């Protein structure tokens, strides 16, 4: 089958319940709830609880995954603070002694379709003792731990960890099972430490079910194709287990027949010719032996059910201009399009022979057509969910709805989720975190939270996302400000104070002002091609004043962030467009990722 590079889940929204607290039923009523992504069902009160000095874990399930996750949770909520409160001075009824976790299933296999639901209950002060977390699987419990961690705050004055607004009851599960982040590991080297930090940050946002490593071949010893001799099978194995402990599956991509120029460095016969090196040689049997060898190695490492075979941005000119391949095409009575389809189907059959279901890229704006054909689909819009498009603000990520124009309930179920893509032409280990975050978090909520609980206007989610961005920073993740473009620099503190004093701005809406259009005489442009949804709120005078205020530092910042080839500047090549809708004789049904990068 064919799937995109990352995973996600379908959601059933549970109704909300509960006694002595406030029940939250809609996005407009969530102003006090700071959890990201917004849970399916929430109720809360107005009391304070404090975590006891020996706050601990108890569980019916002896799971090392759970124990390690609990220890990590305590570490991130303590934030290296010294917990030195005099606990004897606290009313015992206000102390939370620990967290009791009940997991129904002992099965710790992580696959697409694993149940991720959980129920979290934090008691009121009248009922001291333990908070309770119930889940069908350990991976649902991991989500519950992440939610609990966002309810905890360190009190500077009391020197203790607090839980505000108790009692809490949170019933939660994801809307889509496939909630993915693609990391392009081919174009710039990403150290393993950087990839692990990205995995950690994904778990905080519940972008947990899949991490896709695009073109993982380039850092993997696949036996037949060795790109980096220093790499061995242990590194990807370690990465897989590291991710699994955090509830994340690793989906690897072998992108064929395009994006494979480097293969010919070791095996020149994979190139059509020395002077025409892409795509892979469709006429050479050795090409398919190499693909088979790579997928054989993949199957020993990545046991997730999906593998991504790419298939996008294929310029077939080398096939028709290389005499040897041109003769092969004529002998087999194929034109370019038929040869491309032959290659894709043959690669798919190889993947099937290794027990994989397949993911391929398909064209722009085709989700509706794909599900009408009865195929599964992963949405990954180039204009809304490509993180290397620095001019796309978080608001655009948030409002991108995977089910747009898909009204048939059966067809809606074929959309298994979505994926944000961190293409690597202009990002490496030095700036990948701030390019991903916080914009990926906006997509994470779209994919996790029930539709009727989502903010109807991104402005309603601004404060909560700003809080989550600060949480990422506190946990060592270099998330950029909500303001401006991707990788935006923070506002100067003096400029911030000056703006609030003179223009009446607030911390909640100030970041969005840097999306306002550049006006005559301002000296620097901030919009980078896209204006904010908040722009109508501000007069040109205000836009001009802010631009004057920040022109110096922001001008340098903008120039730096825009260095290199902008994502929108693409080479105009005659890329082949193929309809991958399977013929009646096809024996499998791929999951299709929409919106390849070039159309």
CATH code linked to domain 46-166: 3.30.379.10
Say how far apart CA 437 and CA 422 lie, in whole Å.
11
The whole-number pLDDT of residue 594 equals 59
Query: What's the mean pLDDT when you consider all of the chain?
Result: 78
pLDDT, one tens digit per residue, over 566-595 is: 334 333 323 333 333 333 333 345 666 655
The whole-number pLDDT of residue 595 equals 57
Check pLDDT > 60 for residue 29. Answer: no
What integer is the mean pLDDT of 506-532? 30
Q: Kindly indicate the confidence band of residue 492, based on its pLDDT and cuts at 50, 70 and 90.
A: low
Closest to 253 (Cα-Cα) out of 307, 194, 330, 179? 307
The architecture of the domain spanning 176-455 is Alpha-Beta Barrel (3.20)
The whole-number pLDDT of residue 351 equals 97
Q: Kindly indicate the confidence band of residue 14, based on its pLDDT and cuts at 50, 70 and 90.
A: very low
The whole-number pLDDT of residue 128 equals 67
Check pLDDT > 60 for residue 40. Answer: yes
The whole-number pLDDT of residue 23 equals 46
The whole-number pLDDT of residue 235 equals 83
pTM listed for this prediction: 0.78
Q: Kindly indicate the confidence band of residue 287, based on its pLDDT and cuts at 50, 70 and 90.
A: very high
The whole-number pLDDT of residue 126 equals 78
What integer is the mean pLDDT of 151-163? 93
The whole-number pLDDT of residue 484 equals 72
- Which spans in 255-399 are helix H? 263-266, 285-301, 317-321, 323-331, 336-353, 367-372, 394-399
DSSP strands (E only) in 368-502: 376-379, 415-422
Are β-strands 129-135 and 95-103 bridged in parallel, bridged antiparallel, or unpaired?
A: parallel
Q: Kindly indicate the confidence band of residue 217, based on its pLDDT and cuts at 50, 70 and 90.
A: very low
The whole-number pLDDT of residue 340 equals 97
Q: Kindly indicate the confidence band of residue 599, based on its pLDDT and cuts at 50, 70 and 90.
A: very low
More confident residue, 495 or 3: 495
Say how far apart CA 67 and CA 208 lie, in whole Å.
18
CA 404 to chain centre: 20
What integer is the mean pLDDT of 7-27? 33
Token digits of residue 292: 């088979």
pLDDT, one tens digit per residue, over 231-241 is: 567 788 899 99
Check pLDDT > 80 for residue 98. Answer: yes
The whole-number pLDDT of residue 83 equals 86
State which of 86-90, 346-350, 565-569 shows the largest mean pLDDT: 346-350
Say how far apart CA 115 and CA 382 lie, in whole Å.
30
Give the residue extent of every domain in the chain. Answer: 46-166, 176-455, 493-561
Q: Kindly indicate the confidence band of residue 67, based on its pLDDT and cuts at 50, 70 and 90.
A: very high
The whole-number pLDDT of residue 448 equals 98
Lowest-confidence segment of 34-43, 174-183, 569-578 by average pLDDT: 569-578
Q: Kindly indicate the confidence band of residue 370, based on its pLDDT and cuts at 50, 70 and 90.
A: very high
Closest to 181 (Cα-Cα) out of 208, 146, 220, 158? 208
More confident residue, 255 or 144: 144
Q: Kindly indicate the confidence band of residue 139, based on its pLDDT and cuts at 50, 70 and 90.
A: very high
More confident residue, 95 or 1: 95
Is residue 151 within 8 Å of residue 131, measured between CB atoms? no
Say how far apart CA 574 and CA 568 lie, in whole Å.
17
Is residue 376 within 8 Å of residue 414, measured between CB atoms? yes
pLDDT, one tens digit per residue, over 527-564 is: 222 322 322 222 222 233 233 333 333 333 332 222 23
More confident residue, 343 or 560: 343
Which residues are known to be catalytic? 313
Torsion sign across C-alpha atoms 501, 504, 506, 511? negative
């Amino acid at each position: 089958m064919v799937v995109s590079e990352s995973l996600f889940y379908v959601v059933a929204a549970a109704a909300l319940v509960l006694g002595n607290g406030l029940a939250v039923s809609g996005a407009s009523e969530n102003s006090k709830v700071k959890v990201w992504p917004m849970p399916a069902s929430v109720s809360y009160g107005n009391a304070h609880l404090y975590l006891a000095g020996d706050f601990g874990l108890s569980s019916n399930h002896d799971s090392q995954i759970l124990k390690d996750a609990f220890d990590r949770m305590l570490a991130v909520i303590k934030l290296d603070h010294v917990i030195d409160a005099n606990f004897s001075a606290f009313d015992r009824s206000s102390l939370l002694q620990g967290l009791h976790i009940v997991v129904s299933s002992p099965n710790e296999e992580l696959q697409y379709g694993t149940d991720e639901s959980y129920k979290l209950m934090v008691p009121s002060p009248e009922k001291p003792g333990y908070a309770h977390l119930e889940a069908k699987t350990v991976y649902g419990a991991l989500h519950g731990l992440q939610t609990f961690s966002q309810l905890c705050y360190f009190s500077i004055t009391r020197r203790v960890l607090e839980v505000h607004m108790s009692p809490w009851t949170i019933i939660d599960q994801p809307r889509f099972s496939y909630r993915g982040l693609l990391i392009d590991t081919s174009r710039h080297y990403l150290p393993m430490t950087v990839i692990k930090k990205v995995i950690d940050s994904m778990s905080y946002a519940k972008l947990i079910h899949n991490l896709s490593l695009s073109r993982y071949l380039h850092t993997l010893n696949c036996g037949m194709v060795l790109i980096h001799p220093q790499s061995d099978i242990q590194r990807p194995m370690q990465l897989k287990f590291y991710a699994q402990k955090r509830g994340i599956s690793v989906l690897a991509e072998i992108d064929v027949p395009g994006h494979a120029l480097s293969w010919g460095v070791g095996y020149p016969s994979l190139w059509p010719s020395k002077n025409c090196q892409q795509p892979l040689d469709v006429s050479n049997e050795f090409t398919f032996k190499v693909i088979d060898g790579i997928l054989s190695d993949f199957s020993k490492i990545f046991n997730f059910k999906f593998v991504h075979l790419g298939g996008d941005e294929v310029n077939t000119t080398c096939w028709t201009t290389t005499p040897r391949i041109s003769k092969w095409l004529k002998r087999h009575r194929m034109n370019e399009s038929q040869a491309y389809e032959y290659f894709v189907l043959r690669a798919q059959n190889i993947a099937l022979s290794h027990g994989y279901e397949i993911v391929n890229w398909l064209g722009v704006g085709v989700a509706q057509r794909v599900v009408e054909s009865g195929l599964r689909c992963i949405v990954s819009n180039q204009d809304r969910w490509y993180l290397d498009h620095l001019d796309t603000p978080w608001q655009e990520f948030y409002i991108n709805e995977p089910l747009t124009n898909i009204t048939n309930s059966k067809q809606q179920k074929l959309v298994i989720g979505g994926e944000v893509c961190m293409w690597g032409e202009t990002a490496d280990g030095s700036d990948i975190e701030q390019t991903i975050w916080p914009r990926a978090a906006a997509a994470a909520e779209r994919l996790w939270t029930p539709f009727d609980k989502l903010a109807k206007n991104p402005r309603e989610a601004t404060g909560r996302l700003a809080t989550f961005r600060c949480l990422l920073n506190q946990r060592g993740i270099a998330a950029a400000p909500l303001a401006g473009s991707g990788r935006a620099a923070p506002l100067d503190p003096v400029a911030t104070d000056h703006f609030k004093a003179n223009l009446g701005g607030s911390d909640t809406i100030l970041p969005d002002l840097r999306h306002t259009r550049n006006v005559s005489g301002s000296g620097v442009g901030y919009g980078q091609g896209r204006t904010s949804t908040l722009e109508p709120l501000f007069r040109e005078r205000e836009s001009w004043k802010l631009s004057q205020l920040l022109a110096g530092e922001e001008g340098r910042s903008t120039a730096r962030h825009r260095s290199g080839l902008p994502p929108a500047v693409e080479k105009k090549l005659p890329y082949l467009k193929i309809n991958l809708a399977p013929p009646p004789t096809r024996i499998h049904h791929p999951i299709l990722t929409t919106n390849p990068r070039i159309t």
